[in-house]
Structure 1
Amino acid sequence: MKIFISTDMEGLPGINSWHHVEEKDPRYLGRYMAETLTWILDGIKSSDLNSKIEQILICDSHSKGENLSYDFTENDDRIYLISGGLRDYYMMTGLDASFSTVFFVGYHASIGSMKGTMDHTYSTDVYEIKINGKHMSESTINAAFAGNYDVPVSMVIGDHALIEELKGEMPQSVLIETKRGLSKFAAIMKPKNLLKKEIIEGTKEALLRTSKMLIKPYKIISPYDVEISFKSTAMADEATLIPGVKRRDGMTVTFKTNFYDELMQTLLAVVYAGEIGESMGR
């Protein structure tokens, strides 16, 4: 049994502002990620399925992917760590059909979510992402990538707005709320000891549901029609330089594909290109 863990930071407990997840504020950077992952590891070790787990692959996926110290692997010889970028598939690098389950840790609400803590989708320059006309979040986009390999997402840890979004999308998954947003940059944090207990127990339950095959992989049926709206026309200008990407209007680009791995790579290329486009006029 192999566990894939994709980590972000905006949905972690104790985090509510951009400076909390930047290098200029060492009080926060990596601290709550490591703490949350330690609780998950406690849940794995106390699970009846612990002896069946061969590997725990952690994909550090916030920003440049340099938030979790390599020293964390000392906690268990089964832990492998993916760090740094650029890299294929970004938040899902390393996942394949050999994995039994996926955990999303520190994930956050999609762009435009009311009272979603630091809500965005891949980039603060993106206004919205749709696949086949459906509004998507990082969670659903990445879950569909896992579903492409028939791997289920058995646990998601994130803010209240995200959990509310996913209740209908992933009803069989263990969904654990870390905080409740009051606005984009303010939140009521759940008590640490309570959250620790919930994550330990939630991890055990996620593994149990996985072993009993109670969680269906999250899938989107091909062909895929992807629509990405930016916050600036300059971003769309740059994104349309990518072959296959078409302009729908001033701030929206689209592309089509029959393959989800190609969807993910193109989506990331479009987002990165958009960020470059806005910088051209500075």
Structure 2
Amino acid sequence: MKIFISADIEGTAGITNWDEAKKGNPDYAEFREYMTDELVAACEGAGAAGATEVVVKDAHSTARNLILSKLPDYVRIVRGWSGHPDMMMFGIDISFAAALYTGYHNKAGTDTNPLAHTLTGTVSRLLINGEVASEYTLNALCAARYRVPSAFLSGDAGMCADAKVLVPAIGTVATSEGFGPATSSLTPGAAVKAIRDGVEAALSRDLSVCLPRLADSFELVVEYTTPVEAYGASWYPGVEHVAARTLRFKAADFFDIQRAVRFIV
């Protein structure tokens, strides 16, 4: 069994401030280690459930965050940004039995994580077929393009709840909860144990129930924080500039939505 894991940091247990998530800041080294420990726990849970190969996409910021010496020897790691529209899911294909997500955070505009955002700080809201989308939304639908179910997610409580809207059967571990700029969180050790056990349980069942249905067609709407970003991105082929801060793009294939996101966000 092959498992794909997309690893982010803003939903890691304890993380509360951007200084803890940005390479080069003094606080980053500590939370980079917690991010790695949670990812390793997911790998170990997958191994306990029968996985013989795990591919991990380092999917935060520089995509060079995970401490590689801590990863099990059955893991293959994808680092850096290739430029491919699969972005945070680059490396996934039809050979995987399931996709997992660690350290995930809720979408821009939500109050369940002080670090909530969608891809960049220039996006106020991103909608797919009228529903406000998170990075997880994009990534779970990307996995579904390859017929890969999304079986498990760890991150803030709001992200866990939203994940179940798209995939009701997904297993989740809520590592933290936001209160304005503050958080209430599991300890790193408690999060590691819950993630390891949660992944093993999530993968030890019929995974087909975790495959979301792809719509017959898609409408992408991006609302930017200022009109400047919207104007600059409005020249992408097929994009409609429907309001000062808003662009719209329609496509029948979700890959075309991914490709548009890659270039306009």
Name the TM-score class by shorter chain: over 0.9
Counterpart CA distance in 2 for 1:94 and 1:223 is 25
Query: Which residue of structure 2 lines up, in the alignment, with residue 17 of structure 1?
Result: 17
Cα distance per residue 1:211-246 (max 9 Å; x no partner)? x23523123303111110100111011101211112
Retained in 2: the 8 A contact 1:2–1:100?
Answer: yes
1:69 equivalent among 67, 70, 77? 67
Q: Moved runs in structure 1, 4+ residues, more than 3 A? A: none
Q: Is the 8 A contact 1:172 1:214 kept in 2?
A: no
Percent identical: 27
Per the TM alignment, residue 25 of structure 1 is displaced from its structure 2 partner at its CA by 2.1
1:263 Cα deviation (Å)? 1.2
- Among residues 118, 123, 137, which one is paired with 1:126 in the alignment? 123
Instruction: Give the total of aligned pairs.
Output: 262
1:31 aligns with 33
Query: In the TM superposition, what whole-angstrom CA distance separates every residue of 1:226-271 from its partner, at most 9, and x where no partner exists?
Result: 1101001110111012111120100001111111112112112101
Cα distance change of structure 1 residues 122 and 219 upon mapping to structure 2, 3 Å threshold: farther
Unaligned 5+ segments in structure 2 are none
1:205: Cα distance to partner? 0.6
In the other structure, the counterpart of 1:275 is none
Q: Using the TM superposition, name which of 107-116 and 94-103 deviates more.
A: 107-116
Mapping of 1:1-282 within 5 angstroms? 1-29=1-29, 30-45=32-47, 47=48, 49-50=49-50, 53-73=51-71, 75-76=72-73, 78-88=74-84, 89-183=86-180, 185-209=181-205, 212-213=206-207, 215-271=209-265
Distance in 1, matches of 2:13 and 2:133, equals: 23
Task: State the Cα deviation string for residues 23-64 of structure 1 (Å, max 9, x = none).
Answer: 22244342111111122233234x2x33xx232110011112
Aligned residue type for 1:143: A
C-alpha distance in structure 1 between counterparts of 2:104 and 2:204, whole Å: 22
Once the two structures are superposed, residues 91-134 of structure 1 have per-residue CA deviations (whole angstroms, 9 ceiling, x without a partner) of: 01011111100001111011111233311111111011111111
C-alpha RMSD over aligned residues: 1.6
Q: CA deviation at 1:69?
A: 3.3
Equivalent position amino acid for 1:32 in 2: Y
State the Cα distance separating 1:207 from its structure 2 match: 1.2
Q: Which amino acid aligns with 1:10?
A: E
In structure 1, stretches of 5+ residues that fail to align are 272-282
One-letter amino acid of the counterpart of residue 259, structure 1: D
TM-score (norm 2): 0.93
State the 1:196 CA deviation. 2.4
One-letter identity of the residue aligned with 2:24: K
Q: Contact 1:87/1:93 (CA < 8 Å) preserved in 2? A: no
TM-score normalised per structure 1: 0.88
- Maintained 8 Å contact 1:109/1:120: yes
